[in-house]
Amino acid sequence: MHDRRLEDKIRHLCVLSVTATDDDAWLILSELRLLIGQHIEHLRMIAAGEMSGAREFTERRAEGPLNLP
């Protein structure tokens, strides 16, 4: 479930970044950059597993409306 929580954090920071002041924007964008890097690394691991045949990826979440605060 790591990936889902990470995606939710990224979405939340994107929402916050739209209304952030200059002071807060640097902090938000810095954290967003870090989380996107982690997400990319996770996707690389999934792709490597799929390509090598070592494991099969299955989506663990149900599609539905996103409920952000």
Q: Which residue has the higher pLDDT, 9 or 49?
A: 9
65 pLDDT more than 70: no
Q: Characterize 37-69 residue by residue with b for buried, 16 or more Cβ atoms within 10 angstroms of its Cβ, and e for exposed.
A: eebeeeeeeeeeeeeeeeeeeeeeeeeeeeeee
Tell me what the mean pLDDT of segment 20-27 comes to. Answer: 90
| Top-confidence residue, 24 or 68 | 24
Query: What's CA 22's distance to the chain center, in Å?
Result: 23
Q: Give Cα 24 distance to the centre of its chain.
A: 20
Q: What's the pLDDT score for residue 64?
A: 57
Where are the domains positioned within the chain?
Answer: 7-16+25-49
pLDDT at 45: 87
* Helix, strand, or coil (residue 42): helix
Instruction: List pLDDT tens digits, range 46-56.
Output: 888 878 877 66
